[in-house]
Amino acid sequence: MRRGLALVMLPFLLSACGSGSTPSGSASPTDAGGPAWVNVQPGQATAVPSSKYTGTPRAGLPSVSFLPTSSACAVAWDEDIDQVMIPMVVTVGQGSLKVLWPNRYGNRYRVAAVPQELVSGAQPEPDWQTVTTGAECTAGATISGLKSGAAYVVWLDAPDTPRGLDGGRGLYSGRSKIVKPN
């Protein structure tokens, strides 16, 4: 019975879904008060509406000026995904590594060159070097006394960075790729 009723009603339902007629209403392209509407005719190409920017600001908007940039702060820091948080630039030297980082995570840092050779048993604690910075844009330190040709990873820690939800922190806030002093 239900199936028969659905079949009888089907033509009426389909005719209500779109007979190709226009919707009732008296809206016209000029009723909106803006630019004319784009009328699309089936089977005919329609131009895409476009507007061109003249380069002059609209009346009433303030002018824009940019803050001056200092060449001292112009280091392009690579926010590499291999780094944990603080980007670093590491330059190898004769038995040393020069480390630079942006000075925006407090004014107290710790830096260490962690040897990458295999050690059986307990791993030695990193030999942290404390660095106190001022208001300069870039902070840095040189780690010396390293084995020439040995592999190291530089760890950088900013102890004043926020703690995790559990109150804990990792051993470092930034990490380099493997580097080998000359």
Could you tell me the two tokens for 38?
Answer: 């784009």
Residue 66's pLDDT band (boundaries 50, 70, 90)?
very low
Least Cα distance to 151 among 125, 122, 113 occurs for 113
Rounded to a whole number of angstroms, the CA Rg of the chain reads 34
Domain boundaries, the chain: 77-179
Please answer whether residues 93 and 131 qualify as being in contact, where contact means their C-beta atoms are separated by less than 8 angstroms.
no
pLDDT at residue 176 in the model: 93
Residue 159's pLDDT band (boundaries 50, 70, 90)?
confident
74-78, 88-92, 100-104, 175-179: segment of lowest average pLDDT: 74-78
Average pLDDT of span 46-53 = 62
The length of the chain, given as a count of residues: 182
pTM (2 d.p.)? 0.54
pLDDT at residue 65 in the model: 45
Residue 24's pLDDT band (boundaries 50, 70, 90)?
very low
Please answer whether residues 109 and 156 qualify as being in contact, where contact means their C-beta atoms are separated by less than 8 angstroms.
yes
Average pLDDT of span 156-177 = 81
Of residues 29 and 49, more confidently modeled = 49
What number of other Cβ atoms are within 10 A of residue 131's Cβ? 17
Please give the CATH superfamily to which domain 77-179 belongs: Immunoglobulins (2.60.40.10)
What number of other Cβ atoms are within 10 A of residue 100's Cβ? 16
